[in-house]
Amino acid sequence: MHEIKIAEDLSAIVLETAKRESLSKVTRVNIIFGQLVQIVPEIFEYAFRETVRDTIANDADVFIEIVPVKMKCIKCGNDFLVKENRFKCNVCFSTDLDIISGKELFIKSIEGE
Amino acid sequence: MEIKIMKNILDRNQNKADEVRKLLELKKVLMVNVISSPGAGKTTLLERTCEELGEKFRLGIVEGDITTDRDAQRLKKYNIPIVVINTEGGCHLDSHSISKVLGYFDLDKLDVLFVENVGNLICPSQFDLGETFKLALVSTTEGDDKPDKYPMLFREAKAVLLNKIDLVPYTNFNYNNFRSDLKKINANIPLFEVSCTRGDGLKEWFDWITEKINNFQ
Ligand SMILES: Nc1nc2c(ncn2[C@@H]2O[C@H](COP(=O)(O)OP(=O)(O)O)[C@@H](O)[C@H]2O)c(=O)[nH]1
Ligand SMILES: [Mg+2]
Ligand SMILES: [Zn+2]
């Protein structure tokens, strides 16, 4: 249900940006979610619709890109996709890792006129 | 026309969390964000922890509760400062509500602040409160598949408590599955297998958290 709060914060950013750029209409919102954040796109989209009802973003399409969980091995530098929750380098088997992607809750851009 | 934004949607929450973290570091108050499903035993863990550490350290508690103050009532007897945040249906605490309630505590007279988050394994993991670290609590009656289902929390947490081990004989909970799934997700995370009602395993938890509090001073 965290979809609701995230949708509220998103709509605030969308409307602020649209205002600053003097848009009269927002036609599309482009979002990136990491797989780890477990957002359900349908619920998110529904929640977003509710928060922008009767605003200039009322009819905006929501485009959600889900990015996979990707890590970098600190020991050997190998980049790899995490499959089945295995957070372990597939080259040297180290578990000392930095995250490259998978935790995003990003707004990429908006489109409008 | 496309307008690039490229920023974290939860920027506002993140900025406030960074502020809280800085303040608590300055005041040397360790903040633990306790996350679990409803009924896993967060309040019971805090009861045991107050009993054990209440004399040694200056504790404070923030109770995230959807509508009531029942958990705070249970903890009142320990005579430590407690503040309740009612989320009015909200499924998690956020850094703005934490920042507000910090004003009710005398941070100069506090060593550790436990935050009982709202019962839920997904939402609270996304909202940084400015905590020193997150603690994941799961109970055996929920099944052994929680790490695999909610990897984010088990990646982010600094330690895991597996509670209600006294009930394992009555469930199909499989220790090996649980331990190996957890290890797969977070190889070096400390795991405490406890019963907060019977007392099993709590000494290891007390020792660990004592060391964390001492190191933060
Ligand atoms: N059998 C057993 N029951 C427990 C244990 N820890 C907590 N409980 C019970 O589980 C219920 C929910 O605990 P509570 O601390 O309120 O969970 P919370 O919702 O996470 O704060 C209560 O009835 C507790 O007495 C335990 O280790 N073993
Ligand atoms: Mg509770
Ligand atoms: Zn490697």
Tell me which residue has tokens 């935050």: B115
CATH number for the domain spanning A94: value is: 3.30.2320.80
Contact A21, A88 (CB under 8 A): no
Q: How far apart, in whole angstroms, are the C-alpha atoms of residue B186 and residue B178?
A: 12
Q: What angle do CA B100, A36, B139 make, to 5 degrees?
A: 75
Residue-level pLDDT at B175: 98
Give the tens place of pLDDT for each residue, B43-60: 999 999 999 999 999 999
Ligand nearest to the CA of B198: 1
Give the tens place of pLDDT for each residue, A5-45: 899 999 999 999 999 999 999 999 999 999 999 999 999 99
Number of compact structural domains in chain A: 1
Distance A65 CA to ligand 3 centre (A): 28
Name B207's Cβ contacts closer than 8 Å, sequence gap at least 6. Answer: none
Tell me which residue has tokens 């090996």: B176
| pLDDT band for position B63 (cuts 50, 70, 90) | very high
Mean pLDDT of B173-190: 98
With 0-12 / 13-18 / 19 or more C-beta atoms within 10 angstroms meaning exposed / middle / buried, residue B45 is: buried
Backbone angles phi, psi at A42, to 5 degrees: -65, -45
| pLDDT band for position A1 (cuts 50, 70, 90) | low
Residue-level pLDDT at A62: 96
Give the tens place of pLDDT for each residue, B19-48: 999 999 999 999 999 999 999 999 999 999
Q: Is B197 in the pocket of ligand 1 (CB under 6 A)?
A: yes
Q: How far apart, in whole angstroms, are the C-alpha atoms of residue B184 and residue B180?
A: 6
Alpha carbons within 13 A on the beta-carbon side of B62 = 32
> What are the residue ranges spanned by the domains of chain B?
2-216
Distance A74 CA to ligand 3 centre (A): 7
Could you tell me the residue range of the domain that residue A62 belongs to? 3-112
Q: Is B164 in the pocket of ligand 1 (CB under 6 A)?
A: yes
Q: How far apart, in whole angstroms, are the C-alpha atoms of residue B217 and residue B214?
A: 5
CA dist list (Å): A26 to A8, A45, A50, A59, B152:
16, 15, 15, 7, 33
Give the tens place of pLDDT for each residue, B165-178: 999 999 999 999 99
Q: How far apart, in whole angstroms, are the C-alpha atoms of residue A52 and residue A62?
A: 12
B contacts of A2 (beta carbons < 8 Å): 91-92, 122-123, 126-127
Minimum CA–CA partner of B4 in chain A: A109
| pLDDT band for position B87 (cuts 50, 70, 90) | confident
| Buried b / exposed e along A18-45 (16+ C-beta atoms within 10 A) | beeeebeebbebbbbbbbbbbbeeeebb
Mean pLDDT of B86-97: 88
Query: Phi-psi bin for B115: left (phi > 0), alpha (psi -120 to 50), beta?
Result: beta
Distance B37 CA to ligand 3 centre (A): 34
| Run of H or E including A105 | strand A105-112
| pLDDT band for position B91 (cuts 50, 70, 90) | confident
Mean pLDDT of B189-201: 98
Work out whether strand B30-35 and strand B112-116 pair parallel, antiparallel, or are unpaired.
Answer: parallel
Mean pLDDT of B192-216: 98
Tell me if B5 and A109 make a contact (CB, 8 A cut-off): yes
* Separation of CA B153 from chain center: 11
Q: At what angle do helices A41-51 and A2-20 cross, to 10 degrees?
A: 50
Domain made up of B2-216: CATH architecture? 3-Layer(aba) Sandwich (3.40)
Q: How far apart, in whole angstroms, are the C-alpha atoms of residue A40 and residue A52?
A: 18
Name B214's Cβ contacts closer than 8 Å, sequence gap at least 6. Answer: none
Give the tens place of pLDDT for each residue, A62-91: 999 999 999 999 999 999 999 999 999 999
Q: Is B60 in the pocket of ligand 1 (CB under 6 A)?
A: no
A contacts of B126 (beta carbons < 8 Å): 2, 6, 37, 105
B contacts of A23 (beta carbons < 8 Å): 1, 3
Backbone angles phi, psi at A107, to 5 degrees: -100, 125
Contact A95, A83 (CB under 8 A): no
Q: Is B16 in the pocket of ligand 1 (CB under 6 A)?
A: no
